[in-house]
Structure 1
């Protein structure tokens, strides 16, 4: 075996191990059974087990001795903390969230993409006394559910979007009845045309929202900003006004990211 072949095999093993780590992380801290990892990775059970053993030795993954399921290990937490010190979307977005809530009077949100899901990081309340309760900090929904999550989905390149659609379709079929493939297709097209996503009360009746994507300097979609309000405050003219506010603040956040990561 040549040196190039050895290096190629080693790189493939690293890629496989890291893909399994990502799959486990997508479960949001819950334990993952072996059957799910083999099904979602497309790898054989012996290969998955071999990769998991390597991750366990490094402390990135641990196995429950009773259930035999897998979860993120303590070293994953340490790595996450180190990454957060360099890059924390909430830190970059906090000023914008306050400005959006103050200017609109409604609740503003920042969400971050986590695999096939969008997770709400923060909710900033506006002054308007009647508030929608559809999204709270820590809530996790499949991409496409809600304005922010739809903005994330629609901002993906076509190839990535096609793969993500396959992943979220079964998720949406479980508890998100109004998010049919036809509705998702229409919402993506509308978002791409307008530059912002609209949730017309699909998840929770009378709770509407506008969302825009936030991208990294590399072009990768990181998360989204959104504003939610009751339906009576979401007429067409106001939708456009809110969208302008969100696009303005998303541009500010992206500029901060470029400066922080040395792209300017």
Structure 2
């Protein structure tokens, strides 16, 4: 049973999560209200209180909000335990260099994936569906699909029975459609997003496992459709699986 305190904490967390997905130019109060489903006055009150604690910061000229310095300091401390990006940077770099595509490292956070790292290869045409800080539900984009596919059937069924992905992402994310892609992902070991979010923008991902054996992170490659022909997908999938396996071993041995 939720308490008044937990209700407030939930609202604060929703605002901070939404703010973390904003681009470099920050976010307006109205935009944050739209993203969280909260009333604009409520969001404004929460932001003012968070600013007093240094959790958020406001540009006085534009009025736009940013994550604050206190969160940076807290994150530095938390990173000592949870940050796998220090191990993933080399993998992301090798993937971008070897393929010419954009390479990413994402983490699973509850029922979402959060993009932590991006490095672009030398191919001049890129996809911008993913960027550092971007969040997607499990089952959406290639990282969310591969991390969902590596869960148990029971966990997947419970999740798809509880979450409606079609409202925002369309009929291509119905439970049957997601299950079909899960089947293909399990056969190959890597997932493929054939332009389901933005037409012509493809992605592939492989899961990285934590010390407990759970699929906690994903390595991703994205690019334009012409760069993801069937023969090249097999090549890219092999590279992804190799780097994901190497990164899994690195995380496990150094945890």
TM over 0.5, shorter chain: yes
Q: 167, 175, 190: which one pairs with 1:174? A: 167
Post-superposition offset of 1:30: 5.2
Larger radius of gyration: 1
Which residue pairs with 1:58 in the alignment? none
Which residue pairs with 2:246 in the alignment? 252
For residues 143-222 of structure 1, what are the structure 2 equivalents within 5 Å?
143-169=138-164, 172-177=165-170, 178-222=172-216
Cα distance in structure 2, aligned partners of 1:64 and 1:233: 43
Cα distance in structure 2, aligned partners of 1:249 and 1:168: 31
Q: CA RMSD in A?
A: 3.4
Normalised to the residue count of structure 2, the TM-score between the two structures is 0.72
Distance 1:64 1:230, change over 3 A: closer
The answer on whether the counterparts of 1:116 and 1:167 sit within 8 Å (CA) in structure 2 is no
Cα distance in structure 2, aligned partners of 1:109 and 1:29: 20
Q: 207, 224, 228: which one pairs with 2:218? A: 224
Describe the SS at the equivalent of 1:174. helix
The answer on whether the counterparts of 2:15 and 2:43 sit within 8 Å (CA) in structure 1 is no
Normalised to the residue count of structure 1, the TM-score between the two structures is 0.70
Post-superposition offset of 1:29: 3.1
Post-superposition offset of 1:83: 3.1
Aligned pair count reads 217
Q: Deviations over 1:187-234 (max 9, x none)?
A: 111111111101011111001111111110211121110101111111
Post-superposition offset of 1:101: 0.3
Post-superposition offset of 1:119: 1.0
Structure 2: runs of 5+ lacking an equivalent: 20-35, 37-41, 56-69
Cα distance in structure 1, aligned partners of 2:72 and 2:155: 27
The answer on whether the counterparts of 1:143 and 1:168 sit within 8 Å (CA) in structure 2 is no
- The reply to whether residue 135 of structure 1 matches residue 123 of structure 2 is no
Q: Deviations over 1:22-50 (max 9, x none)?
A: 9975775359xxxx9xxxxxxxxxxxxxx
Which residue pairs with 1:56 in the alignment? none
Post-superposition offset of 1:161: 2.0
Structure 1: runs of 5+ lacking an equivalent: 1-16, 37-62
The answer on whether the counterparts of 2:219 and 2:240 sit within 8 Å (CA) in structure 1 is yes
Q: 17, 27, 39: which one pairs with 1:29? A: 17
- The reply to whether residue 111 of structure 1 matches residue 106 of structure 2 is yes
Which residue pairs with 1:99 in the alignment? 94
- The reply to whether residue 233 of structure 1 matches residue 221 of structure 2 is no
Which residue pairs with 1:124 in the alignment? 119
